[in-house]
Chains A and B, each alone.
Chain A
Amino acid sequence: MLELKNVSWTVEDNHGRTDIVKNVSLTLHEHKLYVVTGPNGGGKSTLAKLVMGLIAPSSGQILFDGVDITHMPITERAKLQIGYAFQTPPVFKGINVRELLTLAAGEKKINPTQLLFDVGLCAGEYINREMDSGLSGGELKRIEIASILARDLKLALFDEPEAGIDLWSFQRLAETFDKMHRQSEMTLMIISHQERIMHLADEIIVIDSGKVREITDKNTFLGSLTLKESCGCGETCERGVSF
């Protein structure tokens, strides 16, 4: 359903040209959950932004359901049912949580209370709160994820959804991703460093230095990590993966 063909993204500044994403070719299939992981600065977020259209590739082609979306504006991609949860969600003075979720849902009927519950927030406390800097980073992050749950999507991209979220809410969030994967036809691409998220994956894509280093199944990937790590607690450990 999503195909990236030799996609590159290059920035130019006073120090010259830097390739952030280099000739990446990838195919994502319907109803699969992909976890994208890899070292910081490796190009994972850039890849998600290229798919959503927040930035345009320097070269290469992006196809979605067979349609060339390489140069398609963000709004049009959104209408094709692609969604992206920002790593650092913007704040909006004067727009409250309910309004943002309603805006996200468009014509789809939603239950904002349930959506907030799914991301571990008490609706009564948050539904009428303004989306401004009065909310903590973790709260904004969870509302951002709820704004993606509110939509009717074919492809949902999540950029480090666990960042800034406490352990208890994270558990709830992992269950929500699992439910989305099991109960909908949506394809999920989650950028994450967390083992608990990786356990949900059909495939793990490792991005390093702007390239796809490996695409593997979770057992192979996590097995190799357990061998490398020295803490010895194996799969019960809540540690993040280090590279």
Chain B
Amino acid sequence: MLDIIDKVLLKAVANLDDIPKLGAYNIRRNGKGISRQSTKNIQIVPKTDQPGIDINVAPGTKGEQVHIPVILSAEGMTDIVYNTFNIGDNADVVIVAGCGIHNACDADAGHNGIHEFFIGKNARVKYVEKHFGEGSGRGKRILNPTTKVHMEENSQVEMEMVQIAGVDDTIRDTDVDLADGARLIVTERLMTEGVQSAESIIKVNLNGKDSSARIMSRSVAKNNSKQHFHMNLIGKNECRGHIQCDSIIMDQAQVSSAPMVTAEHSDAQLIHEAAIGKIAGDQLLKLMSLGLSEEAAEDTILKGFLK
């Protein structure tokens, strides 16, 4: 059912060699769901009013994974999908999303994934989202994900968002609100090259008492690419938040980083850090003094940084 291009994309975004035999999954190709499987605890139901699915995880579900990759290889197609995740109380699951685009033509191809999460009390979710583009066409590969997360008391969400190759234009918009005791960790890894452009907007509302958020963003901008980061932690209660944005800039690239913290409560403890700089000369010298060529040293530094 999957051709070789589909398999390359699937491997890149979901680390799957083929359609999985076990577990819950939904594979969407060129705007249509082509394969779907629910389990006893994780039901995947197509929406009736708009494109997309509801992923319903039963309360107390432990140790299960859901794969929902999107692959796009049709010429000049823009796909919009609305997915809703309802995570029951006390569940503990891993969700692997992501989108791979192969564009071999001159028209633009794009995917707008609009995801909304409702995380139940004491639930734990690890969400992994990988974006990948390839293909020789002059048309752009565009990915614009929108992610909204609503976290109930004492829930925990760990988001790992990675885009390190082949996406020409991206605007990532992430909005999270946290109730009492909820804990959020966001790890973002981004690389742009050529004339690519990437923008990441992350807004976190720390509404609950003892809620906490940590956002760690690392990016590499090469050639003439451009990156913009807008992060805002809003503390509305006794809470803790930390934003850490690090970018390596190379060639003629441009990076702007605007971490922002907003306290609306006197017991909010919020920190932001942002750093942009090129690879330090002594890092290259150290690795070269271990026998690596300059190119291999640079590659090692970048791979480590984006790990």
Complex: chain A residue closest to B189, CB-CB: A94
Question: Which A197-218 residues have a C-beta within 8 angstroms of B?
Answer: none
Instruction: Please tell me if A164 contacts chain B, counting CB pairs below 8 Å.
Output: no
Q: How large is the interface on B (under 10, 10 to 19, 20 to 34, 35 or more residues)?
A: 20 to 34
Q: Could you say which of B112-120, B204-212, B287-295 contacts chain A? A: B287-295
Q: For the complex, what is the distance from the CA of A94 to the CA of B293, rounded to whole Å?
A: 20
Q: Could you say which of B41-49, B127-135, B263-271, B298-306 contacts chain A? A: B298-306
User: Which of chain A's residues have a CB closer than 8 A to the CB of B292?
Assistant: 75, 103
B290 touches A151 (CB 8 A): yes
B290 touches A103 (CB 8 A): yes
B300 touches A75 (CB 8 A): no
Interface string of A130-148 (1 = CB under 8 A from B): 0000000000000000010
Instruction: Please tell me if B40 contacts chain A, counting CB pairs below 8 Å.
Output: no
Instruction: Please tell me if A54 contacts chain B, counting CB pairs below 8 Å.
Output: yes
User: Which of chain B's residues have a CB closer than 8 A to the CB of A94?
Assistant: 218, 303-307
Q: Could you say which of A21-29, A79-87, A109-117 contacts chain B? A: A79-87
Quick one: which of A79, A91, A103 contacts B287, CB cutoff 8 A? Answer: A103
Instruction: Please tell me if A93 contacts chain B, counting CB pairs below 8 Å.
Output: yes
Quick one: which of B246, B288, B301 contacts A78, CB cutoff 8 A? Answer: B288
Dominant secondary structure at the A interface:
mixed
Q: Could you say which of B61-69, B151-159, B226-234, B278-286 contacts chain A? A: B278-286
A90 touches B289 (CB 8 A): no
A78 touches B218 (CB 8 A): no
B285 touches A75 (CB 8 A): no
5 other A-B residue contacts (CB within 8 Å) besides A86-B286, A93-B246, A106-B290: A54-B289, A74-B289, A75-B288, A94-B303, A95-B304
18 sample A-B contacts, Cβ–Cβ < 8 Å, listed by A number: A75-B293, A75-B294, A78-B289, A78-B290, A79-B291, A84-B289, A88-B282, A89-B286, A90-B286, A92-B283, A92-B301, A94-B303, A94-B304, A95-B304, A103-B290, A103-B300, A106-B291, A147-B290
